[in-house]
DNA sequence: CGCCGCATGTAATTAGTTACATGATTGT
DNA sequence: ACAATCATGTAACTAATTACATGCGGCG
């Protein structure tokens, strides 16, 4: 498993608390690896026990204390080793594609609607991606090495999103020809 | 969860045994939903208990008996209802993108190699997709309704694959500029 | 004889989700 | 008083992976 490695990756540059990690996952790495706060907290305990992370309690004014985690030397070595190993892919699972195998006149309109929703979600995500890209990765050749990797991941997300939008349009066009009922006031 | 629905989808047109389902998942629906035989067998038991599937033992010459599953009326209704509900997406998880966040001179060559492997895998997959497309979906407008849905799913797979190949090329080009050691015998 | 393909399963473990629990501060 | 944000956790459950188990028939 590699939630542990995703967490440690997020801690490469900034030390963070579990709460902050959960937030970071929602916008940055979380685009490629989704994790709930419950999972993160439990993983943090394991990683601290294994000696890959160090915990430090930080008092805050007007807010509860937080427990900030930092990579240890052992943690960094473990990461370096992990990068050199074989990658694992966990293919996504999407009801929508399975549903398409069940296409019929009775559900074509519904599926077109769901695809429309997905399109909308993807548009918003792409908007965020592009904002990040323009702000931090406008000139990829000028980036420090590690940042080039982050850029490549971002680029994969953007490309995939763009392809998905195009597919949504195609799919909706075809579904429109299938739809059983016509709604143009005839 | 929807492994159950993926299984029932696979049984829409053909009755199958667990073994056959596992094989079918590897080439057709499995492109969008991966499942091991263990999972499939257990799910089949649950679905039969729920009355959505019917089991029938079929004796075979020179082979062990097999248990063939068929959708019941209740199963078909459950499917029709499920299609009309909200879809769930389980985003994929890929070590490779997390690893890219760890890019350094010391691992650039390794990452480029891993991307090359992925490219090769995707090429083979696309070859299969295209073969299926040419054989069964050459003229999408002429397809029966349900098949149009399957075509759309296939199209999403093809498009995604093509985008991925292009990304691999871009990524390898950028990684080549990062790689610490030069190997051209200089 | 050993390995492969067919065919079905159980058990143990790990990963992930959902629900629940606590408690402080700030804003309405 | 009530909700929202910050902050951390436990418990129960579902899903998925890995490993193990069985047994027949055909091939080399």
pLDDT in tens, B82-141: 999 989 888 889 999 999 999 999 999 999 999 999 999 999 989 989 999 999 999 999
Residues A117 and A167 occupy one common structural domain: yes
- For the segment A165-183, the average pLDDT, to the nearest whole number, is 87
User: Is B89 within a domain?
Assistant: no
Beta bridge partners of B66: B58
Question: Which of A57, A84, A111 is at the close of a domain?
Answer: A84
User: Is B74 within a domain?
Assistant: yes
User: Is A38 within a domain?
Assistant: yes
pLDDT for B175 equals: 97
CA nearest to A5, candidates B25, B42, B98 = B98
pLDDT for B185 equals: 45
What residue has its CA nearest to the C1' of C18? A38
- CA gyration radius, chain B: 21
Could you tell me the CA-to-CA distances from A8 to A22, A42, A148, B70, B186 in Å, in that order?
A: 13, 14, 18, 47, 38
Q: Return the residue matching tokens 């965020």.
A: A128
Query: The CATH number of the domain where B68 resides is what?
Result: 1.10.10.10
Residue B137 CA to residue B15 CA, distance in Å, equals 23
Residues A130 and A65 occupy one common structural domain: no
Distance in Å from C25's C1' to A68's CA comes to 20
User: Is B49 within a domain?
Assistant: yes
Residues B20 and B76 occupy one common structural domain: yes
CA nearest to A107 within chain B: B84
Residues B75 and B115 occupy one common structural domain: no
The structural domain count of chain B equals: 2
For chain D, which bases have at least one atom within 7 A of a protein Cβ? 6-11, 14-19, 23-26
Backbone phi and psi for residue A17, each to the nearest 5 degrees, phi listed first? -90, 170
What residue has its CA nearest to the C1' of C16? A39
8 Å CB contact of A148 and B94: no
User: Is A145 within a domain?
Assistant: yes
Residues A68 and A102 occupy one common structural domain: no
Question: Which of B84, B114, B135 is at the close of a domain?
Answer: B84
The answer to whether B107 faces chain A, any CB pair under 8 Å, is: yes
Residues B79 and B139 occupy one common structural domain: no
Question: Which of B48, B63, B84 is at the close of a domain?
Answer: B84
Domain that holds residue B99: 95-175
Residues B62 and B107 occupy one common structural domain: no
Residue B70 CA to residue B32 CA, distance in Å, equals 22
Residues A80 and A101 occupy one common structural domain: no
User: Is B131 within a domain?
Assistant: yes
Residues A44 and A115 occupy one common structural domain: no
CA nearest to B155, candidates B135, B142, B140, B165 = B140
Distance in Å from D26's C1' to A73's CA comes to 57
Residues B56 and B127 occupy one common structural domain: no
Residues A139 and A102 occupy one common structural domain: yes
Distance of CA A119 to the CA centre of its chain: 17
CA nearest to A178, candidates B158, B65, B143 = B143
User: Is A186 within a domain?
Assistant: no
| Per-residue pLDDT reduced to its tens digit, A54-75 | 999 988 777 778 999 999 999 9
User: Is residue B157 a contact partner of residue B129, using CB atoms and an 8 Å limit?
Assistant: yes
Distance in Å from C2's C1' to B14's CA comes to 36
| Per-residue pLDDT reduced to its tens digit, A36-51 | 999 999 999 999 999 9
- For the segment B144-151, the average pLDDT, to the nearest whole number, is 96
Name the residue with higher pLDDT: A185 or A95.
A95
Residues B78 and B11 occupy one common structural domain: yes
Q: Which 8-state DSSP code applies to residue A60?
A: E
Tokens representing residue B141 in the block: 């407008």
User: Is B90 within a domain?
Assistant: no
pLDDT at A22 over 60: yes
pLDDT at A77 over 90: yes
């Amino acid at each position: 498993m590699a939630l542990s490695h995703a967490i440690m990756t997020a801690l490469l540059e900034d030390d963070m608390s579990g709460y902050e990690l959960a937030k970071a996952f929602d916008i940055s790495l979380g685009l490629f690896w989704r994790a709930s706060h419950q999972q993160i907290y439990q993983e943090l305990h394991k990683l601290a026990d294994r000696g890959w992370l160090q915990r430090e309690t930080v008092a805050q004014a007007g807010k509860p204390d937080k427990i900030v985690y930092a990579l240890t030397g052992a943690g960094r070595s473990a990461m370096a080793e992990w990068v050199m190993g074989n990658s694992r892919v966990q293919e996504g699972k999407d009801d929508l594609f399975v549903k398409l195998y069940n296409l019929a006149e009775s559900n074509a309109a519904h599926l077109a609607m769901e695809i429309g929703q997905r399109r909308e979600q993807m548009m918003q995500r792409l908007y965020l991606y592009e904002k990040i890209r323009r702000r931090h990765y406008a000139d990829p050749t000028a980036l420090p090495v590690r940042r080039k990797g982050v850029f490549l991941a971002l680029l994969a997300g953007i490309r995939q999103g763009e392809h998905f939008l195009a597919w949504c349009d195609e799919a909706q066009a075809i579904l429109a020809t299938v739809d059983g009922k016509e709604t143009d006031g005839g």
